[in-house]
């Protein structure tokens, strides 16, 4: 397998960009398209952490049916929010964080989600992955959102060599052409969920196999 060259990333993204149209849209991207509301994108992203997309979608639907603004969610109270979002992972902690986030949005941001990475990182329960996803999906602005799929696949290809998602973000900020920043997460998450699985990926069906070094792949299908 030849070494993955920087120029190959453009070919990979072009190929996968066509392929993802066949697959289900990740819940956060669906939320952005269906609502156009950065606030709902932010809350849904918090709910999605360590939670399957189907569970996140159901929880978001229940919550927003009862309350769709920071003021309305604060009025519900933490216990009601926790009940509505159950069984997302760490639902009690997430309910507390969402209530506190809404209070801060009301008091400090005129109930509007900021479109700035550093401002988003000030909120309790919002890490770099969440903040970058809100920037790219909620506001359609350049950002590098790195979840486990992006980290794993970028390294598996041989495009980068990093040990953690945070390190991957910083390397991609220097290396990945900015025109790909917004779509990179969406494309690789879809690819990772459907073909490039963590264990035993479907290499025999992979449209970019000839570019991939399969680093860390012990077995495949």
The C-alpha atoms of residue 195 and residue 179 are separated, in whole angstroms, by: 24
**All residues at 6 or more sequence positions from 120 whose CB lies less than 8 Å from its CB, including other chains:** 42, 113, 114, 126, 130, 131, 134, 135
Q: How many residues does the chain have?
A: 221
What distance in Å separates the CA atoms of residue 98 and residue 31, rounded to the nearest whole number? 17
User: Residue 1 corresponds to which tokens in the numbers above?
Assistant: 């397998």
* Catalytic residue set: 129, 147
Q: Which of 200, 195, 216, 217 is nearest to 12 (CA)?
A: 195
Q: Tokens 């849904």: give the residue.
A: 44
């Amino acid at each position: 397998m030849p070494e993955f060259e920087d120029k190959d990333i453009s070919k990979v993204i072009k190929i996968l960009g066509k392929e993802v149209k066949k697959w289900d849209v990740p819940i956060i991207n669906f939320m952005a398209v269906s609502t156009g509301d950065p606030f709902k994108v932010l809350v849904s992203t918090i709910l999605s952490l360590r939670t399957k997309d189907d569970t996140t979608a159901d929880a978001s639907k229940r919550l927003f049916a009862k309350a769709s603004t920071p003021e309305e969610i604060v009025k519900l109270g933490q216990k009601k929010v926790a009940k509505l979002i159950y069984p997302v992972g760490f639902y009690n902690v997430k309910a507390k964080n969402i209530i506190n986030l809404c209070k801060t949005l009301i008091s400090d941001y005129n109930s509007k989600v900021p479109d700035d990475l550093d401002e988003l990182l000030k909120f309790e329960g919002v890490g770099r992955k969440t903040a970058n996803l809100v920037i790219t999906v909620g506001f359609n602005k350049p950002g590098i959102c790195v979840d486990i799929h992006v980290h794993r696949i970028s390294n598996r290809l041989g495009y980068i060599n990093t040990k953690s998602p945070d390190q991957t973000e910083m390397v991609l900020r220097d290396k990945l052409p900015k025109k790909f920043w917004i779509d990179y997460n969406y494309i690789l998450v879809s690819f990772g969920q459907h073909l490039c699985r963590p264990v035993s990926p479907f290499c025999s069906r992979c449209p970019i196999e000839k570019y991939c070094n399969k680093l860390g792949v012990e077995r495949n299908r």
